[in-house]
Each structure stands twice: as C-alpha cells, then as structure tokens.
C-alpha cells in the first residue's frame, strides 16, 4: 500500500495567515492526488484534484502543487470557515489511501 504522511498533523494559525500543508507519498504517484476538507460531523469535501486542479466552486485561495512523492496544499489567506481537518488522498494505485489528516485550528 502507498503510505501518505501529512505534516504538520496539527497547525494553529490566525485569520489572514498563509498556511501550507505537506503530503509525502511512500512511492511516486505522478499527479494522482486529491485534497479534502472535513468539518466536525460533516462529510469530507474535495478541494483539489489531480494535484493542482481546483474543484468547481472552491475559493481560489486554495492551491495545490507537486508531483511524484511531494505535494502541498496552500491556503493564501485563512478565513474563519477554513478551520477544519485536511486530508490528502492518493488515487494512483489500489488500495486508495488517505493521509492521517492535518487539523487546522484558530490561534
């Protein structure tokens, strides 16, 4: 199985901050990576797919980059509604796997 390791696991930031979350894959996955946002008690919501393509309806302050084994999700200016848990997901090979999550909290 391909392991995905997210860093950091926990992030404390303020409204207006720029934050970056990293996802590292245990082997190359080309650009087959998606990012999801999950709020408590809710289903995950896709933000980015194919490593850098913004899902329709997602604000442009979210950007994804990377390929191979290292990927990043950047939020350019944190808004109050962005405080949530973020997961990366590899879609290169079966079984599809997720990172362990990054919890983003208000400082």
Partner 1 sequence: QVQLQESGPGLVRPSQTLSLTCTVSGGSINSGDYYWTWIRQPPGKGLEWIGYIYYSGTTQYNPSLMSRLTISIDTSKNQFSLKLRSVTAADTAVYYCARALRSDWQQDYWGQGTLVTVS
Q: Report whether 29 contacts 51 (CB < 8 A).
A: no
Q: Is 58 one of the binding residues for partner 1 (CB under 8 A)?
A: no
Only one of the segments 11-19, 21-29, 70-78, 90-98 lies at the binding site for partner 1 (rule: CB under 8 A); that segment is: 90-98
- Contacting residue, 16, 60, 80, 95, with partner 1 by CB under 8 A: 95
Q: Report whether 99 contacts 23 (CB < 8 A).
A: yes
Q: Is 71 one of the binding residues for partner 1 (CB under 8 A)?
A: no
**Residue 105 CA, distance from chain mean position:** 15
- Residue 17 or 98 with smaller CB distance to partner 1: 98
CB within 8 Å of 65: residues ≥ 6 apart: 51, 52, 71, 72, 74
Q: For binding to partner 1 (CB under 8 A), which residues are involved?
A: 32, 34, 36, 42-46, 49-50, 53, 55, 87, 89, 91, 94-101
């Amino acid at each position: 199985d391909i392991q995905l390791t997210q860093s950091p696991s926990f992030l404390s930031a303020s409204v207006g901050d720029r934050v970056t979350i990293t996802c590292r894959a245990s082997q190359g996955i080309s650009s087959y990576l998606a990012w999801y946002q999950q709020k408590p008690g809710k289903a995950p919501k896709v933000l980015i797919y194919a490593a850098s393509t913004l899902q329709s309806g997602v604000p442009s302050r979210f950007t994804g980059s990377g390929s191979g084994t290292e990927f990043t999700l950047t939020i350019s200016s944190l808004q109050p509604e962005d405080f949530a848990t973020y997961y990366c997901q590899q879609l290169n090979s079966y079984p599809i796997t997720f990172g362990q999550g990054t919890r983003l909290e208000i400082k």
